[in-house]
Amino acid sequence: MYSNGNRIFKKKDPSNKPQVPSSKGFVHGIWFFNVSQREIVLLSVLFIISAMIISIEGGDAQNAENFKEKQMKYERVKNAFREKEKTVNEMLAAKNLSAVRLEIFVRIFKTEKKVEVWGKNREDSVFIPLTDYDICTSSGSVGPKRKQGDGQVPEGFYHIERFNPVSNFHLSLGINYPDKSDRILGGGGNLGGDIFIHGNCVSIGCIPITDDKIKELYILAVESRNNGQEKIPVHIFPCRMDGSEFEGLKKEYATYNKLLEFWQNVKEGWDYFENGKKVPIVSVDGSGKYKFRP
């Protein structure tokens, strides 16, 4: 520096050249060497995106964990767990299954009047038979539901979409009828809805299994949903599709070509599960036909 008597001037430092981007960077607590500033920015963006993904996934897991807690706010659900949780846990333990890792699959047979429940731990690849319940009363006959008020129980490939802890029939589990196949093959008009597996022993188009047994099934469904099983599959058949009952139905309805064609399509889904004990991914084509894939 030098002075002219009034002002002080700073000499330019010839070594004071523009700074070259550092060959190393410190990003979110981690040192990165031999990278440019642009690469540091990209790494920062990737770090933030990863953190957001982890946060979202964590939020989903938290929501799943809260499902049971939310259900337990209802008196009938609390009573069901109080009365039946031990029974359900013993049932699961006998099959080497765990309530905290459980997934279930439900099959319903209209002729035999049975609700069949299969289970597996989340890490397992195949389902095993868990238990079954009697359908205590029913309406309609074999064949799919095609309109409001026909009294029919649907047939096809559905999932549980509603948990009703304050049902008129104690507790109930609603299925997603009508599905895409029903809407296509139903030919328009009012197809009806509100099909439930429920308690009590009265029904028009639903599946009642008594108050006592719906408590067990409801607990199994709550545990599975709480473990992240968003869509518990429910497959409904006119009968078991591999024996004399089905052969008898084919003879009885031999002139009902559309019904037989529908049943043959439904049997494909039956066969898929029977061959590997794995629930297929189900879709519906433009004609209303079910398609099955791993």
Predicted pLDDT at 81: 98
Predicted pLDDT at 194: 96
- The DSSP H or E segment spanning 221 is helix 210-226
Amino acid symbol at 202: V
- The DSSP H or E segment spanning 156 is strand 156-167
Overall size of the chain counted in residues: 294
Give the chain's residues under pLDDT 50. 2-6, 8-11, 14-15, 17-23, 26-33, 45, 53-61, 64
β-strand pairing of 114-121 with 102-109: antiparallel
Q: d(Cα 225, Cα 65) in Å, to the nearest integer?
A: 9
- The DSSP H or E segment spanning 80 is helix 75-94
Residue numbers annotated as active site: 198, 206
Predicted pLDDT at 33: 46
Predicted pLDDT at 187: 86
Do residues 157 and 235 lie in contact, with contact meaning Cβ atoms separated by under 8 Å? yes
- Please state which of the four CATH numbers 3.30.450.40, 2.40.440.10, 3.40.50.2300, 1.10.540.10 is assigned to the domain occupying 73-276: 2.40.440.10
- Cα–Cα distances (Å) from 12 to 5, 6, 36, in that order, read 19, 19, 29
**Both structure tokens of 108:** 């319903």
